[in-house]
Amino acid sequence: MSRLIPALIIAGIVVLLLALMWWGWRGRQRRQAGLATLQGVPADAGQVVLTVSLFYVATTQHDSPLERIAVGGLGYPARASVAVRERGLELAIPGQDALFIPFVDVDSVFRAQHTIDRAVERDGLVVLRYRIGESVVDSYFRIVDPAAAVGFVDDVAARVSKAVTP
């Protein structure tokens, strides 16, 4: 009996903390409900040129790098793949429909060392800066193989520079 009361207090604190975390996440989703979201892959996206397996880390508003976007399929880190197509990038995260980022919406692609919840070796993350509606966002990807990361960045940067804004 002497251990039951402290155990119940600790369990209650853990449940309270989990409830507060859930409440905070739901609040973030409500605040971001008006943000534009990425669309699915269009029929005219073109052929797949390159596919890279990676770890999707996070997407943040460009001007708020410490606030994760929680809506539109971009809220949770996951193993994923990105297919470079002729007209854009197809982000495939298991458990949801693939998302499409047209090259005309991409501002830049570069390497970084850290983001909201991840710090890795120098240039260990690939950052894709693009527009979703009126918002500029940064998506962070972890490609473990350095040669694959360099190839991906170079290929996407070349395609972005050739993209013509409609």
pLDDT per position as a tens digit, 12-42: 999 999 999 988 878 777 777 767 778 888 9
Residue-level pLDDT at 105:
92
Rounded to whole angstroms, what are the CA distances from 58 to 71, 114, 165?
11, 11, 26
Residue-level pLDDT at 128:
93
Exposed, middle or buried by CB within 10 Å (0-12, 13-18, 19+), for 79? exposed
Measured over the CA atoms of residue 130, residue 134, residue 136 and residue 141, the dihedral's sign is: negative
Q: Where do the domains of the chain lie?
A: 1-31, 48-162
95-146 pLDDT per residue, tens:
889 999 999 999 999 988 777 767 777 778 899 999 988 889 999 999 888 8
Lowest mean pLDDT among 52-56, 81-85, 146-150: 146-150
Q: Give the closest residue to 133 by CA, choosing from 78, 89, 72, 57.
A: 72
Q: Percent of the chain having pLDDT more than 70?
A: 96
Q: Percent of the chain having pLDDT more than 90?
A: 34
Q: What is the pLDDT confidence band of residue 165, given thresholds at 50, 70 and 90?
A: low
- Whether residue 94 has pLDDT greater than 80: yes
- Residue count of the chain: 166
Helix-then-strand count for the chain, H and E: 2, 10
Residue-level pLDDT at 164:
60
User: Which class in CATH covers the domain with range 48-162?
Assistant: mainly beta
Residues 139-165 have a mean pLDDT of 84
